[in-house]
Chains A and B, each alone.
Chain A
Amino acid sequence: MTVIIAVLQAVLLVALAPLVSGIARKIRARMHSRTGASVLQDYYDLAKLWRRCEVREGPSGLVSRAMPAVYLGTMALLAAGLPLIMQACPVPLLGDIITILYLMALPRFLFSLASIDSGAAYPSIGGIRELLVGVLVEPSLMLVLFVMALAVGSTNVGVMAEAVGTLSAYPAVAVVVAGVACAMACYIEMGKLPFDLAEAEQEIQEGPLAAYSGPSLAMLKLGVSVKQLVVASLFVAIFLPFGAAASLAPADLLLGLVTYLVKLAAVLLVAAVIENSVMRVRYKLLGRYTWFVVGIASLSLVFLVIGI
């Protein structure tokens, strides 16, 4: 049963991703007093790209060929393991936070490697920036998850979700502050403005995505969207598990699915509003923001240690 839920989660997120980015684009258009494209535009784009012929440019080799598949596959796998609909993890071995963080490192590794493989300047710069963003966000994310693990007594995301859902995570203020820090860290990780450094369109021409075309580009765009969803879902799963199914009863599951979609929509709405109100942060000032998030995470650690 849980396997079906896992597969369902993966398929759901993959299917929803273009819709979510479409909605974000629509919101942006509305905020800019434009009509904007349809919310289903990304689906049309993907379909169009899928039919196109692919150009393999430059000295790129096997790594570039393999990367989009690895990216999408890994993100889908991560989506399958998160406790979104249920409070427990559908696949426990994918629910360990260490596994999640390091599984997210694989697409990042290959993403940047492929960008260097293309031999072109802009994709390479984008790839390096992606790596650096990862380096700067990792400590805060790990610190937040460390605090949660100590507060809850396990490194399994499902156990964390259950503990927060039943309000039995102790100490409470530490968890709340950790939640705030996690939200910020996840936002940076999602790569939305102002932290849109890997694919800064105006600056480096979409970065690594510029080296791809045709079905590979479609898969990569889809993968990037799914990654944003997965990171947002990670936050929602750990810190906003209210309403998720506590048992495997169909009614609970349905309720869990609905509440998850509602929570996700709320989170993405907030993200979209923020995204469209700011401009991209200057690359060399990125450190300021990430260390600020580390500071908040350290604050939550202090609260945890003191026992508040």
Chain B
Amino acid sequence: MFGYPLVNVLGACLIITSMMVVLARAGRTAAWLYSLQSLVLVGVLASLGFVTGSGELFTWSATAFATKVVLVPAILLYALKKIGDDAQADLPPKLNPMKSVALVAVEVFVCFVAVSGIDLLTAAEVKPTLAVSLAHFFIGLTCIVTQRSIFKQIFGYCLMENGSHVSLALLAPEAPELVEIGVATDAIFAVIILAVLVVRMARYAHTLDADDLCELKG
């Protein structure tokens, strides 16, 4: 069928785009890349909806578009503007790019293996996408852990969010809208709070370097 391979391809694109988000240097670039990634996510959701024939998934993809593609990057860019140039939002990550890519690959592989034991409601063909979404979670975690700039760590969080979103969609496509609302609000509000915190920390400490911030006492 046309649907399933599309889903899997889009899943692969998810991995690539999220890797780009992780590797991006400048904050603005990361934000735009994240927007792109969320667009791919919308695509995954839409195609899933197409494939499973559930109407909820279409609504999901619509709301995901509104929140993740539009709102979240907007908030992040606004925050970036607020921080301005005096906080080095463009710090190099702890792991060099090659190691990050290797780590991501390993994570995807491990998730693949872990997922192979699960029975999917949708269809066995989209198992790779489930592996991808699970891996997304860990990629986001990797981003948080390896980035030195706390601004970039917000992206890590958002990636984790995306991963869980897709996993939910894959495992429970018939879920009612309430769940969707929950996920959406979670994404928005968490990002808002994180952004506010980052802005304030930047104002106070004039640095976004996590290593420096860890030295803060009391």
Please determine if A and B sit in direct contact within the complex, based on CB atoms under 8 angstroms apart: no
B-side residues, CB < 8 A to A, are none
Chain A contacts to B: CB under 8 angstroms? none
